[in-house]
Structure 1
Amino acid sequence: MPTPVGVYAFSAAQIRVFLAYIQALWAEDVGPAGDVQLHGLLKKILRQHDDDSPAPPPPPTPSLVFRDKVWRMLRMLYTTGLFPRGFAGRAVPANAIYLNIGQLGLAIPSFFDWLAKRPDIIRAMMVHDAIPIDYPHLVGNKAPLYHRQMIRTAAEYADCLIFNSAYTRASVSAVMQDFGRAFPPGLVRSLPLSSAFIDVEAPVPELRDTRYFLAVSTIEPRKNYALLLRVWQRFVATMGPAAPHLIIVGALGNGAETILAPLKSDPALAKRVHHVAGLSSPALASLVLGAAGMLCPSLAEGFGLPLLEANAMGVPTIASDIPAHREVATATTVLLPTDDEHGWARAITALPVVAACRARDIPAALTEAAYCADIVDFVSGVRAKTA
């Protein structure tokens, strides 16, 4: 854990307590029936009369949001006893493996100064994409600068790199060449399925007779939600009450208020398009299993996880024709241009009614255990070569 006075290490026992706390906080063990956000979503979908709809609460002020975050962090530290016990440079055992999969911290090089004093440690780092560099118009003004620093830090410190797709590896390699850096050994490994998607038993029963489609990702410009909202405006205008529902699952990102603005200005559209954030993995898995289709219209991705999840669960998929999606697509995935509104509308309406029983196809390679084993084998092999 980086702090203003140095980088600290924690024991495995401390981290297990912390992970159990997070698991409970995110309601990962309660199942769909106990998911508060899912119940709120169901009320919006199944209630068709505005007279019964309470006015939404006003959004919290920035000061309240900040205070809530600080309070949650302090409560977490107190509950889990997660307090630093030693500087990483001294506490980490000799010849250990340092595995960094978070990426964002790479934007602050000082977090990794301690590694310069520990040449015995093998450093494995995961880089998720190079999107802010390749598509600066799709992100915030400072994102390209931060992202270049992430890749620069990885180039300076990493003994090996982990990638989620061949497309990401090629993109990151091009940036490193611009830096004049040698490209370290790299592993391209598809992300696994969460165990919740493997263990899910049934769709959400309340939506058994509701035809709905899903789009899962942070609400931001590069996810291309504007295309889907235009398509659904077309459905509402031509199909009326028979129009299918669209459920958008994802946290609010940069520009989200503008993207979702049509839901406030168009009451008819708001009855068919619903946004929800904070779903547990079991709740999301149940929603995916009962969906008429998964829609992935992104302008750019490093990896298409929602597409992978839906394909494995036998749910029809329609995705933008971009490199990362081509790697994950199956023979039944419909790939379309990111601006073909008519094509997306035709493809969505052409999908069949949800089958009573999905034909799931979950190969062993998609399990979390297989993923972790491949990562360990790769990094251990790098360590053996450098010994």
Structure 2
Amino acid sequence: MFKRHIFQVVDRANADEIGSTTPPRVIAYDVVRLFIGPSFLTPRGIDRVDLALARHIFSNESSRNVGVLPTPAGVYALSATQVRRLLAYIQELWAEDAGFGRDLQLQLLLDKIARRQDDALQAPSVRPLLLRQKVWRMLRMLRATSFFPHRFAGRAVPANAVYLNIGQLGLAMPSFFNWLAKRPDISRAMMMHDAIPVDYPHLVGENAPKHHRQMIRTAAEHADCMIFNSAYTRDSVSAVMADLGRPCPPALVRSLPLPAAFADVEASVAELAGTRYFLAVSTIEPRKNFALLLRVWQHFVATMGEEAPHLVIVGSPGNDADKILAPLESDPALANRVHHVAGLSSPALASLLLGAAGMLCPSLAEGFGLPLLEANALGAPAIATDIPAHRELASATTVLLPADDEQGWARAIAATPDVVMRRRPHIPFAMTEGAYCADIVDFITRIRGRAA
């Protein structure tokens, strides 16, 4: 069902740089993406991966592993205890451990679907956090966790450690990596999620291509090894590195894992039994092509009326989200069939997917299609755009369509059969967070630093 090569492929180019070491080596884990977690209503796919890997690395409070936090005032090292406090706070904030029966956003969604004709009772649309709200949430986290670093990483990170950066965000700030110049004993492992802003500048903000190119330049200059989520990402990032005059270092191509909740889900949402609905999961931004789905659903509502299926859009508001979702504000009939929810926990999302008629992935460009992987894992039909990242993950039942084929999408969605008591299938171990974390740690701890 799943392509074997997507789970673990090691690029053996320059393989002489990969050597064996005597475990365990200390891991210096970059926590900047997790540190700014309170500024997001809900985690993205890579945020869940970042959190899972950090929990794995800091599972033991007495661990010698350290956190690394770049700030404008310097790059600091954090003890395992400090990082564990941060992780516990973020876990609770994002409600990743909450059962779907206790998920407030899910309950609001169920209310919206049940009140099909009562426009006055429709819940307000989800808005992005304002700057003051983000600052307040960050201050609350600092107060709750006593998360005040005081040791500089250049001196505090143990000798011959492995620096691991999964979050990618800090790579846009070259000064955050100056400390590594004085520590050639430290090996550097970095992950790039995609090269989309460089390859598709028209799909992102004005400054994104420049910042993303800097991220890739920083990785090319400092990384001893790279981690990629797909062969497509490896090839596209390697092409940008070549354009910068840099070779891509030894690399691991490793599919992202399923959130743990997808392996643990036991049942679909009982309140939605008999309701035909589809899921689309992603940040609300132009690149995700939600406008296509809204046009398709306008057609369904116009031609099918009350027989039209429901569409549940799960994702935090991103760039131009108000414009993208504007039809829901102006068209009550459409809003009765299309529902946007943000802040949904992984258990709630897994349960929704288990009962969905299908997963819709209309994105124009992706480095990795996590929603498609999730649909495949739970046996849900999937309709996705015909792009390289989706082709790597597509199963025999995946329907791949052009991103602008509105009629084709409408026909494929209408042809998707109703759900007949779907049970969670067996999840291959290679798809779990535990296997993913073990593979990443195994790979990075075999990389020799520049002083070796």
Q: Name the TM-score class by shorter chain.
A: over 0.9
Q: CA deviation at 1:193?
A: 0.6
1:198 and 2:266 correspond: no
Aligned match of 1:378:
443
C-alpha separation in 1, matches of 2:249 and 2:125:
51
1:287 and 2:355 correspond: no
Aligned match of 1:6:
74
The residue correspondences of 1:195-234 to structure 2 (distance < 5 A) are 195-234=260-299
For 1:275, what is the secondary structure of its paired residue?
strand
TM, length-normalised to structure 1: 0.96
C-alpha separation in 1, matches of 2:143 and 2:446:
39
Q: CA deviation at 1:55?
A: 7.2
C-alpha separation in 2, matches of 1:91 and 1:292:
52
2:431 corresponds, among 340, 363, 366, to 366
C-alpha separation in 2, matches of 1:340 and 1:89:
53
Q: CA deviation at 1:361?
A: 4.1
Q: Which amino acid aligns with 2:85?
A: V
Higher relative contact order (CA 8 A, sep 6+): 2
User: CA offsets per residue over residues 306-325 of structure 1, 9 Å max, x none?
Assistant: 00011000111110000000
C-alpha separation in 2, matches of 1:378 and 1:293:
35
TM, length-normalised to structure 2: 0.82
Q: 1:55 to 1:341 in 2, by over 3 A?
A: closer
CA contact (8 A) 1:315 1:358 kept: no
1:50 corresponds, among 118, 124, 144, to 118
The residue correspondences of 1:271-350 to structure 2 (distance < 5 A) are 271-350=336-415
CA contact (8 A) 1:130 1:171 kept: yes
User: CA offsets per residue over residues 74-129 of structure 1, 9 Å max, x none?
Assistant: 22112111110300001111000100011111001011111111100000000000
2:109 corresponds, among 41, 58, 69, to 41
Q: 1:124 to 1:241 in 2, by over 3 A?
A: same
C-alpha separation in 2, matches of 1:51 and 1:246:
17
User: CA offsets per residue over residues 243-271 of structure 1, 9 Å max, x none?
Assistant: 00000000111111111111111111110
Aligned match of 1:75:
140
1:355 corresponds, among 420, 429, 444, to 420
Q: CA deviation at 1:2?
A: 1.7
Q: CA deviation at 1:239?
A: 0.7
Q: Which amino acid aligns with 1:49?
A: Q
Q: What count of residue pairs does the alignment treat as equivalent?
A: 384
C-alpha separation in 1, matches of 2:79 and 2:134:
25
C-alpha separation in 1, matches of 2:101 and 2:251:
42
1:184 and 2:249 correspond: yes
Q: CA deviation at 1:51?
A: 5.8
Aligned match of 1:137:
202
User: CA offsets per residue over residues 260-294 of structure 1, 9 Å max, x none?
Assistant: 11111111111000101110111111111111000
Q: CA deviation at 1:12?
A: 0.9
| Deviant stretches of 4+, over 3 Å | 54-60, 384-387
Q: CA deviation at 1:227?
A: 0.8
C-alpha separation in 1, matches of 2:395 and 2:172:
35
Q: 1:194 to 1:55 in 2, by over 3 A?
A: closer
C-alpha separation in 2, matches of 1:25 and 1:257:
25
C-alpha separation in 2, matches of 1:346 and 1:163:
35
1:18 corresponds, among 86, 95, 99, to 86
C-alpha separation in 2, matches of 1:148 and 1:254:
20
User: CA offsets per residue over residues 102-160 of structure 1, 9 Å max, x none?
Assistant: 11110010111111111000000000000001000000010000000000000001000
Answer with 365-374 or 118-127: which moved more.
365-374
Q: Which amino acid aligns with 2:102?
A: G
CA contact (8 A) 2:401 2:409 kept: yes
C-alpha separation in 2, matches of 1:116 and 1:303:
32
CA contact (8 A) 1:160 1:185 kept: yes
CA contact (8 A) 2:266 2:424 kept: no
CA contact (8 A) 1:151 1:176 kept: yes
For 2:379, what is the secondary structure of its paired residue?
coil
C-alpha separation in 2, matches of 1:229 and 1:70:
33
C-alpha separation in 2, matches of 1:337 and 1:75:
45
Answer with 19-28 or 193-202: which moved more.
19-28
Q: CA deviation at 1:357?
A: 2.6
CA contact (8 A) 2:187 2:449 kept: no
For 2:164, what is the secondary structure of its paired residue?
strand
Q: CA deviation at 1:372?
A: 1.1
C-alpha separation in 1, matches of 2:122 and 2:227:
48
Aligned match of 1:265:
330
Q: 1:15 to 1:125 in 2, by over 3 A?
A: same
**Sequence identity of aligned pairs in percent?**
74
